[in-house]
Amino acid sequence: MRTVRKNMAAPRPQVRRRRRGAGVGAVAAVAALLAPLLVGSAAAAPAAVVDHLYLSGAATGNVIGYEVTAGAAPRQIAGTPIHTGFGALTIKASPDGRFLYTVSPGPSAEIVVFSIGPGGSLTPVPGTPVAVPEAPLGMNLSPDGRHLVLTTGPSLSGGANLRSYAVRPDGVPVELGHSVPAGPLGDLGGAPVPMPVVSADSRNVYLANYFGGTVTRFELHADGSLSEAREKIRSGGGPVSPTISPDGNFLYTSNEFTANISAFRIEANGGLREVAGSPFAAGTTPHGLTISPDGRFLYTPNALSNNVTGYAVRADGSLGELPGSPFPGGPPATVPGQVLISSDGRQLHAVDIIGSSPTPFVALRSYSVGDDGSLQVDPGAPVNTGLLFSAASVLVPGR
């Protein structure tokens, strides 16, 4: 019986080996089928985001557009530059990225509107330009896309006015007849122009008062009417580029005269309260600042330092300068005027003025943005846009 048991038990290891071999073979076959998919998935890097960057040249009277993407030189958008009129120091896009707005103080006082087509192409919107009673200066749109606010001047009293427009579905701004005094131009500054920004809930307008060193708040009502000035709060000297954080909780200005950044908390009623530690040191003549789409980082170009200061944005809205900041600017004689961050937060674009009078030209450079917010200058020479003197700029996420 013991011998029989041994003879009966003897084949079992062979059977087990055959079964294991069959299992391994099946797994190997499945792995072979899945391998190309797994390898392809692991190897595929996130597609580079393609954005459109538009510039409006005050001295040239043109708008020019570029397709910008990480790892590639800016590519000029077909059909641009396109003539608009002279003296524009502002350019904005509708929140949905369908329309582009700029102004022409001369030869005619107008709001100029383009529809943004495939590839970033620009087409004048029927029914525009829209005539303006006084020279248009600064401009912005409400985040809900319903209203456009515009500073104009000089008025009959020699000051500036804040005006509101309804924005039709076709992009045409229609004046509502609502305007309020925005202060004397000596207080607001004729150059740079008085710059408005609208709160995230589209209920308040904040106006940077350049020579006054303050930010003034106006209420924007649902019907487009504007209140008289509700408050005026002290900032640093020469505030420009008022910018609201992506979460709508904080407002920042670059202060040219005092070389720093002011930070304000936006209260529930729209009122401003200065953040502890504000203002925060920057370089010489900080100007057109930008905030990353996730709200973690803020950058300002320092025009007369020829560099860029970067900050980490803390939960309370205060700023901490990033390691390695300030980051280098362009070649000698470069005056960086504005920075714009890509819609994916991976690239920072610098709008520079290079050279001296009488023909300083506007150029584009870029930086790669690290996970920690640090900046690495991208290779390649600055791209000459052909615009002269000053340029306002805006970045529109590709659609």
Question: CB 229: neighbour CB atoms within 10 A?
Answer: 17
User: From first to last of its 399 residues, what are the pLDDT tens digits of the chain?
Assistant: 444 344 444 444 444 444 444 444 444 443 444 444 444 444 455 677 899 999 998 888 999 999 999 888 999 999 999 999 888 889 999 999 999 999 998 889 999 999 999 899 999 999 999 999 999 989 999 999 999 999 998 766 667 899 999 999 999 999 998 899 987 776 554 455 688 999 999 999 999 988 888 999 999 999 999 999 999 999 999 999 999 999 999 999 999 999 999 999 999 999 999 999 999 999 999 999 999 999 999 999 999 999 999 999 999 999 999 999 999 999 998 999 999 999 999 999 999 999 766 677 899 999 999 999 999 999 988 999 999 877 799 999 986
Closest to 180 measured CA to CA, from 168, 202, 196: 196
> What are the backbone angles phi and psi of residue 376, rounded to the nearest 5°?
-125, 120
> Could you write out the DSSP letters of every residue in 269-307?
TS-EEEPTT-SEE--SSB-B-EE-TTSSEEEEEETTTTE
Encode burial over 68-92: b for 16+ CB neighbours within 10 A, e otherwise: bbbeeebeebeebbbebbebbbbbb
DSSP structure class, residue 8: H
CA 2 vs CA 10, 15, 167, 220, 345: distances in Å: 12, 21, 98, 99, 77
How far, in whole angstroms, is CA 235 from its chain's centroid? 22
Cα–Cα distance measured from residue 235 to residue 330, given in angstroms and rounded to the nearest whole number: 29
> Reduced to 3 states, what is the DSSP secondary structure of residue 250?
strand
pLDDT value at residue 32: 44
pLDDT value at residue 358: 63
Cα–Cα distance measured from residue 104 to residue 102, given in angstroms and rounded to the nearest whole number: 7
Cα–Cα distance measured from residue 370 to residue 35, given in angstroms and rounded to the nearest whole number: 32
Cα–Cα distance measured from residue 149 to residue 220, given in angstroms and rounded to the nearest whole number: 9
Question: CB 46: neighbour CB atoms within 10 A?
Answer: 8
pLDDT value at residue 316: 98
CA 323 vs CA 44, 295, 309: distances in Å: 31, 18, 10
Cα–Cα distance measured from residue 260 to residue 344, given in angstroms and rounded to the nearest whole number: 27
Residue listed under structure tokens 């409400």:
142
Q: How many CA atoms, within 13 angstroms, populate the side-chain half-sphere of residue 233?
A: 21
pLDDT value at residue 209: 87
pLDDT value at residue 178: 82
Cα–Cα distance measured from residue 389 to residue 225, given in angstroms and rounded to the nearest whole number: 36
Q: Are 74 and 53 in contact (CB under 8 A)?
A: yes
Q: Nearest 5 degrees, angle CA 362-CA 364-CA 369?
A: 150
> What are the backbone angles phi and psi of residue 38, rounded to the nearest 5°?
-65, -45
Cα–Cα distance measured from residue 98 to residue 113, given in angstroms and rounded to the nearest whole number: 11
